[in-house]
Amino acid sequence: MSKTIMVVDDSASVRQVVSMALKGAGHSVVEAVDGKDALQKLDGRKIHLVISDVNMPNMDGITFIKALKNQSAYRFTPVLMLTTESEASKKAEGKAAGAKAWLVKPFKPDVLLSAVTKLA
Amino acid sequence: MTDPVDIFREEALEHLSNLEAALLELEQAPTSAEEIDAAFRSMHTIKGAAGMVGFDHLSQFTHHLETLFDRVREGQVELTAPLINQILEARDHIERLLDDPSPSVELQAVSAAQIIQFTEVTGEEHAGPERQETGHASQTAAGEARLYRIDICPAADAFRDGFDTLPLLKELSGLGEIHVTTRLGSSFDPRHFEPETCVLALSVALTTHASRESIEDVFIFVGDEWQIDITAITADEDCRLGDLLVDQKVVAPDALEQVLEQQPRAGELITAAGLAAPETVQSTLDEQRFIREQQKKQRKATPEQSIKVPQHKLDQLMDQVGELVILQARLEQLALESDDERASSLAEELSRLSTGLRETTFDIRMLPIGSTFGRFRRLVRDLANDLGKEVVLETEGAETELDKVVIDRLSDPLVHLLRNSLDHGIETPEVRREKGKPARGHLWLSASQHQGQIQILIRDDGAGLDTERILSKAIERGVVQPGADLDPQEIYQLIFEAGFSTAQTVSDVSGRGVGMDVVKRSIESLQGRVQLDSTLGKGTEVCITLPMTLAIIDGLMTGVSRERYVLPLSTVEECVEAVPETEDENSGVRLIRHRDALIPCLRLRDFFRVGGQPPEIEQTVVVRVGEALMGITVDEVVGHFQTVIKSLGRLYQGAGGVMGATIMGDGQIAMILDVGELVEQARK
Amino acid sequence: MDDQTELAPMDAIQSLQILSFVLDEEWFGVEISGIQEVLEYRNVTQVPRTPDFMLGVINLRGRVIPVVDLRRQFEMHLSAPTVDTCIVIIHVEVDGENTPLGILADRVHEVVEIDTADIKPPPRIGNRIKTAFISGIVRHDEHFIILLRLSKVFAPEELDLVREQVSQEEPAEWDDV
């Protein structure tokens, strides 16, 4: 089933890789370059899943997740965190902020898709 | 342009120019946090993205630069002019690496050379490329590698929920060297086999520099029903096969003990006795080997370094940790009452931290008791010479760890008991020969730990206690009324009475006016107890039981009216509701039925004279002290709490049935029961 | 410091500062250097099977502090705590250990400065409390203030005496306030 998934990452290539994988599986994708941008692009629309990087300029992933969870419309929207191995401690923060799962970069598209199926 | 590789190149070039700009600024102002951050982020983003588009080598290379800037950010590395030059060279190198996902051997060699330079600066271990992929930066730069055993028991629904254990193991292997053993969980039943149900149990031995938190973080997203146990294994710890099997809950401790009594080759025996499948034993043997190797490495690699810390600082630390635990409990309660999510997540975080802090602090205070054994050997040797006796001291369990404060305060009573054995127990060689004993006497001093308690045994093969002489002495001293009818145990207890000494002449060895009563009091002040057993002509054995620490215990909170009482969890057998009761015809003691036996039962409300009315249904906690079982009836059982023990102070010394107090989450005080004392009282 | 009012030779010290408080309408004084603080009355947790004069313990900033009711020790009239009831935290030596403990007071008055020359020895007879517990008596305004020797009140032999009574004692009369 097709879902609407928001991808938040400051790296254009990461966004691209993730989007391609998601679109290939039939999902529609909303891209945002950082937390601030993501909050603006939410715009009240139905989002089934948010995939967010942690370390981003302007607004980092943790702050973004917290802000997202504070909006009643997105309170129950599952969040998948993308982290790099050097941010293990962020994982706890992410969980506390409300993330449901995490993926360590780099990952293979099929790993991503199975996570998406699980969460969305 | 939709090819991710093209997008990546463009993006990377942009980051490289950001890096360059930052570096040029840093050349002027090497500590500008903003610029350091910008440089870090550019490397971080390239690293992450490179991995995603297949530029693995580049990803690994930039990892080292990212680490470098992280160290700069932490203030551990200074950005000197030569270092900035090096980074600029690295920047140019990255640009070349962008051409091809699999760079030429020459380019790889350049990478390797630069990485070495950077790792020298950061102090980061230079590991093989396959290791750099995961988790390197979460390791601390230096320090001793520690060995952990991690028991993973996934929830039965783990596979159905789409979880897999492999990524976890991969992540663990990123933290260090791992050894995995798998077995079927205890819930496995071949008659009801379901392929989708997870019956797997894993045991991972991990050697790592990473902190316990880093290991815990690996499991942060697994379901709540998973059981994850992380245990630090110290180099001193015995890693016998049997212990491992028990630890892995493959074999029940009792069953193991029985087998061990029949001695050697535990592996074969355990298998033969059908206690565990041969594969399980084999895999555990493998794990044991791995642990041994790792421990050998650890011992060799780091001749243990230590620092001396004044006692009062340790005490202060412990006090403050205790305060923190109390505060955390209060915060938790507040969060619960206020129903504020932010507060509860804060409370949860604090709880994690304070638990870790408490464990570490305990660990610091724990010392092997063997540090005092050496002193005793010398003491026994000198004393034996003075007394013209031949004595050998044998010690066992020197590695048994206990609280430093306990060890310090245990020293005097132990010296006293050893002196006693030498002075009054062990006979002169002539006397021994007459009695047909070997001329040389034996003294045993052993320490062991079980169920959170430390047991210390002092045994001699001397003359034993003469009950008649003790009794006549006691009568002479007015401790006992003439004609009293006492059993041997009761008579032995007399020597713990104040001012009692059985030595016929006051020698300068043990006749210093301090008697066994002092020993008993010292042990009791450590929340311990002393028991004595003796056989005339054969020898005497003194058994001291102590808690491992005096600061914090696991407690079961109970309530009577508005009062709260904590029972040490180590003494609790079970909690039962509304049990049928009878009365002992002779003594009027309340008895309850417990597993086909009648055991005495004490109603705390009556015993402590607590006001108010009992509820319709009371709860009874069955406790065990040694062999003795007893019921303690309370109004309600509140639950399990970490309990910080506070002394009641001098004024309340000898308060019957209470060993201390604790401060609860709401700031009120609860008494901690001295269960041993209560059992004794109930007997009377 | 084990005896607040016998710190130094009387002629060396011209005056003493004492905190005055009332127990069963009798005025008492304790030299202020032995006093840590004065608290409002708060719930005291009983320690089971201990003498009644040892009321129990309170939580003072994470420390467990015993509270005693001297009225029982002095065989005075008991009454339930009122808004004026205070707990005076003092430091005394108990069995050679400096111990903070709380004394229940019906009400606490001001700190008064008294001339050491005005301190009279305790009368030998006619006291409600043991002469040994009193270091002197001083007149202040219309009251006689009894200067307490806390070290004697909490001397081991006194404590042993009350501990022995524990098994026969009745429960406190106002347990449930």
Same domain as B264, residue B116: no
- Cβ distance A85 to B44 less than 8 Å, yes or no, reads no
Same domain as B101, residue B14: yes
Higher local confidence (pLDDT), B243 or B607: B607
Residue B382's domain is classified under what CATH number?
Answer: 3.30.565.10
- Segment B158-209, tens digit of pLDDT: 777 667 777 788 778 878 888 888 877 767 777 777 777 888 888 888 888 7
The Cα-based distances of B61 to B48, B210, B519, B520, C94 in angstroms read: 11, 22, 66, 66, 68
Spatial separation of the C-alpha atoms in residues B651 and B649, rounded to whole Å: 6
To the nearest whole angstrom, how far is the Cα of A49 from the nearest Cα of chain B? 17
The residue of chain A nearest to residue B3, with distances taken between CA atoms, is A16
- Out of B7-11, B225-229, B653-657, B662-666, which region has the weakest mean confidence (pLDDT)? B653-657
Tell me, yes or no, if B162 comes closer than 8 A to chain A by beta carbon.
yes
List of residues 6+ apart from B30 with CB closer than 8 A? B78, B79, B80
Q: Give mean pLDDT, residues B37-56.
A: 88
Residue B197: per-residue pLDDT: 81
Q: Structural domain tally of chain B? A: 5
B326: which chain C residues are within 8 Å (Cβ-Cβ)?
Answer: 62
Tell me, yes or no, if B51 comes closer than 8 A to chain A by beta carbon.
yes
A54: which chain B residues are within 8 Å (Cβ-Cβ)?
Answer: none
Residue B621: per-residue pLDDT: 94
Q: Structural domain tally of chain A? A: 1
List of residues 6+ apart from B182 with CB closer than 8 A? B200, B201, B202, B203, B283
Same domain as B276, residue B159: yes
- Asked if residue B160 belongs to a domain, the reply is yes
Neighbours of chain C (3+ CB pairs under 8 A): B
Size of interface A-B (CB pairs under 8 A): 97
How many residues are present in chain B? 684
- Decide if pLDDT at B386 tops 90: no
- Segment B63-101, tens digit of pLDDT: 889 889 988 988 888 888 888 888 988 988 898 899 888
To the nearest whole angstrom, how far is the Cα of B334 from the nearest Cα of chain A? 18
Higher local confidence (pLDDT), B211 or A71: A71
pLDDT band at B137 (very low <50, low <70, confident <90, very high): very low
The residue of chain A nearest to residue B52, with distances taken between CA atoms, is A106
Please identify, among B547, B576, B607, the residue that sits at the C-terminal boundary of a domain. Answer: B547
pLDDT band at B485 (very low <50, low <70, confident <90, very high): confident
Domain residues for the domain of B208 are 146-301
- Asked if residue C86 belongs to a domain, the reply is yes
Residue B296's domain is classified under what CATH number?
Answer: 3.30.70.260
- Cβ distance B4 to A53 less than 8 Å, yes or no, reads no
Which candidate from B607, B657, B668 shows the least CB-CB separation from C43? B668
pLDDT band at C12 (very low <50, low <70, confident <90, very high): low
pLDDT band at C104 (very low <50, low <70, confident <90, very high): very high
Going by beta carbons, is chain A in contact with chain B, meaning 3 or more pairs sit under 8 Å apart?
Answer: yes
Q: Give mean pLDDT, residues B282-310.
A: 63
Average pLDDT, chain B: 78
A84: which chain B residues are within 8 Å (Cβ-Cβ)?
Answer: 44, 47-48
Q: Is B408 helix (H, G, I), strand (E, B) or coil?
A: helix
Provide the 10 A C-beta neighbour count for residue B274. Answer: 8
- Asked if residue B618 belongs to a domain, the reply is yes
- Out of A109-113, B115-119, B268-272, B451-455, which region has the weakest mean confidence (pLDDT)? B268-272
- Residues B456, B599, B622: CA angle, nearest 5 degrees: 65
Q: In what order do the strands lie in the sheet with B669-673?
A: B636-644, B552-560, B563-568, B669-673, B658-663
Question: Which of B247-256, B319-328, B532-541 has maximum average pLDDT?
Answer: B532-541
Tell me, yes or no, if B139 comes closer than 8 A to chain A by beta carbon.
no
Q: Give mean pLDDT, residues B283-289.
A: 68
Size of interface B-C (CB pairs under 8 A): 82
Same domain as B174, residue B44: no
Q: Structural domain tally of chain C? A: 1
Q: Is B559 helix (H, G, I), strand (E, B) or coil?
A: strand
- Cβ distance A55 to B136 less than 8 Å, yes or no, reads no
Same domain as B573, residue B539: no
Spatial separation of the C-alpha atoms in residues B568 and B214, rounded to whole Å: 32
Q: Give mean pLDDT, residues B114-120.
A: 85
Residue A37's domain is classified under what CATH number?
Answer: 3.40.50.2300
Going by beta carbons, is chain C in contact with chain A, meaning 3 or more pairs sit under 8 Å apart?
Answer: no
- Asked if residue B138 belongs to a domain, the reply is no
- Asked if residue B323 belongs to a domain, the reply is yes
Q: Give mean pLDDT, residues B539-547.
A: 89
- Segment B449-470, tens digit of pLDDT: 776 678 899 999 998 888 888 8
Which uninterrupted H or E stretch holds C99?
strand C97-105
To the nearest whole angstrom, how far is the Cα of B352 from the nearest Cα of chain A? 11
pLDDT band at C122 (very low <50, low <70, confident <90, very high): confident
C175: which chain B residues are within 8 Å (Cβ-Cβ)?
Answer: 611
Indicate whether this model's pTM tops 0.90.
Answer: no
Interface test with B, best of C42, C44, C55, C57 (most B CBs within 10 A): C57
- Asked if residue B582 belongs to a domain, the reply is yes
- Cβ distance A85 to B213 less than 8 Å, yes or no, reads no
How many residues are present in chain A? 120
Q: How many CA atoms lie within 13 A of B103 on its CB side?
A: 22
Question: Is the confidence metric ipTM above 0.85 for this complex?
Answer: no
pLDDT band at B139 (very low <50, low <70, confident <90, very high): very low
- Decide if pLDDT at B416 tops 90: no
Same domain as B618, residue B538: no
Spatial separation of the C-alpha atoms in residues B652 and B550, rounded to whole Å: 17
Spatial separation of the C-alpha atoms in residues B515 and B423, rounded to whole Å: 13
Q: Is B628 helix (H, G, I), strand (E, B) or coil?
A: strand
Going by beta carbons, is chain C in contact with chain B, meaning 3 or more pairs sit under 8 Å apart?
Answer: yes
Residue B671's domain is classified under what CATH number?
Answer: 2.40.50.180
- Asked if residue B140 belongs to a domain, the reply is no
To the nearest whole angstrom, how far is the Cα of B160 from the nearest Cα of chain A? 10
pLDDT band at B513 (very low <50, low <70, confident <90, very high): very low
Same domain as B399, residue B527: yes
- In sequence order, the β-bridge partners of residue B80 are none
Same domain as B335, residue B242: no
Maximal C-alpha separation, chain B: 108
Higher local confidence (pLDDT), B277 or C9: B277
- Residues B59, B64, B68: CA angle, nearest 5 degrees: 140
Domain residues for the domain of C99 are 14-168
Same domain as B474, residue B383: yes
Residue B379: per-residue pLDDT: 82
- Residues B162, A55, B6: CA angle, nearest 5 degrees: 85
- Cβ distance C48 to B652 less than 8 Å, yes or no, reads no
Residue C84's domain is classified under what CATH number?
Answer: 2.40.50.180
Average pLDDT, chain C: 79
- Cβ distance B45 to A85 less than 8 Å, yes or no, reads no
Q: Give mean pLDDT, residues C156-174.
A: 57
- Asked if residue C66 belongs to a domain, the reply is yes
A18: which chain B residues are within 8 Å (Cβ-Cβ)?
Answer: 52
- Decide if pLDDT at C106 tops 90: yes
- Asked if residue B251 belongs to a domain, the reply is yes
Please check whether residue B210 is in contact with residue B178, taking contact to mean a CB–CB distance below 8 angstroms: no
- Asked if residue C3 belongs to a domain, the reply is no
Same domain as B481, residue B359: no
- Percentage, residues of chain B above pLDDT 90: 10
Instruction: Round the CA-based radius of gyration of chain A to a whole number and report it.
Output: 13
- In sequence order, the β-bridge partners of residue B624 are B629
Domain residues for the domain of A95 are 4-119
Same domain as B461, residue B378: yes
- Asked if residue C7 belongs to a domain, the reply is no
pLDDT band at B645 (very low <50, low <70, confident <90, very high): confident
Spatial separation of the C-alpha atoms in residues B201 and B350, rounded to whole Å: 30
Higher local confidence (pLDDT), B505 or C118: C118
Q: Give mean pLDDT, residues B368-397.
A: 84
Spatial separation of the C-alpha atoms in residues C146 and C153, rounded to whole Å: 13
Instruction: Round the CA-based radius of gyration of chain B to a whole number and report it.
Output: 32
- Out of B153-162, B590-599, C158-167, which region has the weakest mean confidence (pLDDT)? C158-167
- Cβ distance B609 to C171 less than 8 Å, yes or no, reads yes
- Asked if residue C123 belongs to a domain, the reply is yes
Residue B6: per-residue pLDDT: 86
On the 0-12 / 13-18 / 19+ scale of CB atoms within 10 A, B508 is exposed
Tell me, yes or no, if B563 comes closer than 8 A to chain C by beta carbon.
yes
Cis peptide before C100 (omega within 30 of 0): no
- Out of A5-19, B361-375, B633-647, which region has the weakest mean confidence (pLDDT)? B361-375
- Cβ distance B608 to C49 less than 8 Å, yes or no, reads yes
To the nearest whole angstrom, how far is the Cα of A32 from the nearest Cα of chain B? 15
A14: which chain B residues are within 8 Å (Cβ-Cβ)?
Answer: 48-49, 52
pLDDT lower than 70: segments of chain A: 1, 85-89
Q: Which of B 303-362 lie inside 8 A of A, CB atoms?
A: 345, 348-349, 352
C159: which chain B residues are within 8 Å (Cβ-Cβ)?
Answer: 651
- Decide if pLDDT at B303 tops 80: no
pLDDT band at B279 (very low <50, low <70, confident <90, very high): low
Q: Give mean pLDDT, residues B497-514.
A: 50
Tell me, yes or no, if B377 comes closer than 8 A to chain C by beta carbon.
no
Instruction: Round the CA-based radius of gyration of chain C to a whole number and report it.
Output: 16
Please identify, among B547, B580, B597, the residue that sits at the C-terminal boundary of a domain. Answer: B547
Residue B278: per-residue pLDDT: 61
To the nearest whole angstrom, how far is the Cα of B634 from the nearest Cα of chain C? 14
